[in-house]
């Protein structure tokens, strides 16, 4: 995994490569069946299904598309409202906006960067249809509270679980707690198939319709199972199934699920321990993992004093050939967010905390030597 390149420059991210992918890819190529739902798709989905105990896991072309499928399954219509945090990726909102929904953003908690569960209920109106939660950095939202609110008001819960494959909340796997869970296997995530994702259907009731939506609105799956004698267009749908080539690339990573996770966790723990002193001296803040939650080390972030300090620190890292990045301009302050959504209540933490957050390099195979170099850079910076 470690090559000379990293002696010169420490990348922010790189996707796992396990050295057998070529063999799997050639197997698919030679089989002549490179479209979706073949052997590797089946293998990947069954591993995920076992790991999550979800009623059904379907591989998709992306997490964005898994979110879109969720929005269709929630029957989101024009002018329905969906509650979500503003501190997230555009896809969380896109999926619902595509169905005509209005987005209602609520503030985040400053400790986890997750939606503040205490602010959800006051944002509910008679148009609210769903709550979309994002488990930021692979750390769970306060799901018991959120599920209770959803039950009380008869709302769907969609988990944007792009960051948290393998994280848990009170022993439940994230993505398997709400009605739908959406995984990402994009290159930047813990497990990757280039572009791809999965939808977790947590109730058997949604399986049949989900299979139809994923297959352009046809009952093709039933036809192949011999349950109907011809296949036809039965519902609205799209093309949400990935190619076998992508699934073949993902397979070995899923077989090495724990190995990849443990490698990341070990880098995460190393960062945390090494930076604790800077946090104790109140120079930076470190991530917080609530009691009862385990995470998958999707990212390691620190928070600086403010935006000015973060900008200087990024420059310092760049000077030392280390790529540290920030992300997510809060959606409510983006052009599309202003058009398609509104912020309910006060933005106390969303903007302020998003401007302080800086992600440090994190990937499978990140060497201890490089983590040390990154940590040293931080100590030097704060000595000044
Ligand atoms: C990466 C990401 C997505 C989109 O994932 P794709 O698989 O690229 O569509 C959605 N939500 C969050 C929170 C993400 O980080």
- For each of the domains in the chain, give its residue range(s) and CATH number, in order of start: 2-10+257-383 (3.90.1150.10), 21-255 (3.40.640.10)
Q: Report residue 1's pLDDT band, with 50, 70 and 90 as the boundaries.
A: very low
The 10 Å CB-count burial string (b at 16+, else e) for 9-40 is ebebbbbbebeebeebbeebeeeeeeebbbbb
Residues 245, 286: Cα–Cα separation, whole Å:
39
Contact present, 236 and 209 (Cβ < 8 Å):
no
CA of 182 to the centre of ligand 1 (A): 9
Q: What atom in ligand 1 is closest to the CA of residue 136?
A: 13
Task: Give CA–CA dist 98/80, Å, rounded.
Answer: 12
- CB distance 1 to 245 below 8 Å: no
Residue 138 makes CB contacts below 8 A (sequence gap 6+) with 163, 164, 165, 166, 167, 174, 190, 295, 296, 297, 298, 299
pLDDT above 90 (res 254) = yes
Which protein residue's CA is at the shortest distance from atom 10 of ligand 1? Answer: 91
> What confidence tens digit (pLDDT) does each residue in 46-100 have?
999 999 999 999 999 999 999 999 999 999 999 999 999 999 999 999 999 999 9
In this structure, the number of other CB atoms found within 10 A of the CB of residue 171 comes to 7
pLDDT digits (tens, 9 = 90+) for 293-303: 999 999 999 99
Q: Is the CB of 186 under 6 A from ligand 1?
A: yes
Question: Read out DSSP for 128-171?
Answer: EEEEEEE-GGG----HHHHHHHHHHHT-EEEEE-TT-TT-EETT
Interval 357-377: pLDDT, tens: 999 999 999 999 999 999 999
Mean per-residue pLDDT of the chain: 96
Kindly state the tokens that stand for 183.
Answer: 């995984």
Contacts of 314 (CB under 8 A, 6+ apart): 324, 325, 326, 358
Q: Say if ligand 1 is within 6 A of residue 159 CB.
A: no
Q: What is the pTM of this model?
A: 0.97
Nearest CA among 280, 302, 274, 281 for reference residue 368: 274
In this prediction, residues 285-297 reach a mean pLDDT of: 98
pLDDT in tens, 28-58: 999 999 999 999 999 999 999 999 999 999 9
CA distances from 107 to 228, 301, 356, 383 (A): 48, 20, 16, 34
What is the position in ligand 1's atom list of the atom closest to the CA of 185? 7
88 lines ligand 1 (CB under 6 A): yes
Instruction: Write the pLDDT tens digit of every residue in 325-346.
Output: 998 999 999 999 999 999 999 9
At 247 the pLDDT is: 98
How many angstroms does the Cα of residue 55 sit away from the middle of ligand 1? 22
**Cα(189) to centroid of ligand 1, in Å?**
8
Separation CA 200–CA 176 (nearest Å) = 7
Question: Which residue owns the Cα nearest ligand 1 atom 1?
Answer: 162
pLDDT exceeds cutoff 80 at 5: no
Q: Is 165's C-beta closer than 6 angstroms to any atom of ligand 1?
A: no
CB of 62 closer than 6 angstroms to any ligand 1 atom: yes
* d(CA 162, ligand 1 centre) in Å: 5
Single out the residue of 115, 161, 122, 164 nearest to residue 142, CA to CA. Answer: 115
Mean pLDDT of 163-180: 98
Assess whether the C-beta atom of 246 lies below 6 angstroms from ligand 1. no
According to DSSP, the residues that pair with 154 across neighbouring strands are: none
> To which H or E segment does residue 83 belong?
strand 81-85
Beta bridge partners of 293: 169
Kind of pairing, strands 293-294 and 180-184? unpaired
Average pLDDT score over residue span 162-190? 98
Determine the pLDDT at residue 232: 95
Report the alpha-carbon distance of residue 124 to residue 129 in Å, rounded: 9
What's the pLDDT score for residue 364? 98
121-161: pLDDT as tens digits:
999 999 999 999 999 999 999 999 999 999 999 999 999 99
Higher pLDDT residue, 47 or 5?
Answer: 47
CA 373–ligand 1 middle distance (angstroms):
29
Q: State whether the beta carbon of 60 lies less than 6 angstroms from ligand 1.
A: no
Distance 274 CA to ligand 1 centre (A): 30
Atom of ligand 1 nearest to the CA of 65: 9
- Confidence grade of residue 304 (pLDDT, cut at 50, 70, 90): very high
Whether the CB of 243 sits within 6 Å of ligand 1: no
């Amino acid at each position: 995994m470690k090559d000379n390149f990293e002696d010169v420059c420490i990348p922010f991210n790189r996707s796992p490569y396990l050295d057998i992918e070529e063999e799997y890819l050639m197997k698919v190529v030679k089989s002549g069946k490179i479209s979706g739902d073949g052997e590797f798709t089946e293998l990947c989905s069954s591993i995920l299904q076992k790991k999550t105990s979800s009623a059904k896991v379907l591989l998709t072309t992306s997490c964005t598309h898994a979110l879109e499928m969720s929005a269709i399954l929630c029957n989101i219509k024009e002018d329905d409202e969906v509650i979500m945090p503003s501190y997230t990726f555009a896809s969380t909102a896109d999926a619902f906006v595509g169905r005509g929904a209005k987005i209602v953003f609520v503030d985040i908690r400053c400790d986890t960067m997750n939606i503040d569960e205490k602010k959800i209920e006051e944002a509910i109106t008679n148009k609210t249809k769903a709550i979309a939660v994002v488990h930021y950095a692979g750390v769970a939202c306060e799901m018991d509270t959120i599920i209770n609110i959803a039950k009380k008001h008869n709302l769907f819960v969609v988990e944007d679980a792009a960051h948290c494959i393998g994280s848990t909340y009170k022993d439940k796997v994230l993505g398997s707690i709400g009605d739908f869970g959406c995984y990402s296997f994009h290159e930047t995530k813990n497990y990757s198939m280039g572009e791809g994702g999965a939808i977790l259907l947590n109730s058997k009731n949604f399986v049949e319709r989900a299979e139809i939506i994923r297959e352009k609105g046809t009952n093709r799956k039933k036809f192949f199972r011999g349950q109907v004698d011809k296949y036809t267009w039965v519902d609205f749908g799209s093309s949400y199934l990935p190619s076998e080539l992508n699934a073949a690339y993902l397979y070995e990573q899923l077989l090495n699920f724990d190995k990849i996770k443990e490698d990341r966790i070990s880098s995460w723990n190393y960062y945390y321990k090494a930076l604790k002193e800077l946090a104790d001296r109140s120079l930076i803040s470190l991530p917080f993992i609530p009691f009862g939650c385990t995470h998958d080390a999707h990212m390691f972030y620190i928070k600086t004093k403010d935006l000015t300090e973060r900008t200087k620190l990024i420059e310092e890292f760049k000077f030392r050939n280390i790529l540290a990045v920030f992300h997510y301009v809060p959606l409510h302050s983006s052009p599309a967010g202003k058009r398609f959504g509104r912020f309910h209540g006060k933005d106390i933490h969303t903007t302020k905390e998003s401007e302080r957050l800086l992600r440090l390099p994190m990937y499978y195979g990140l060497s201890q030597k490089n983590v040390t170099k990154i940590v040293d850079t931080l100590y030097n910076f704060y000595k000044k």
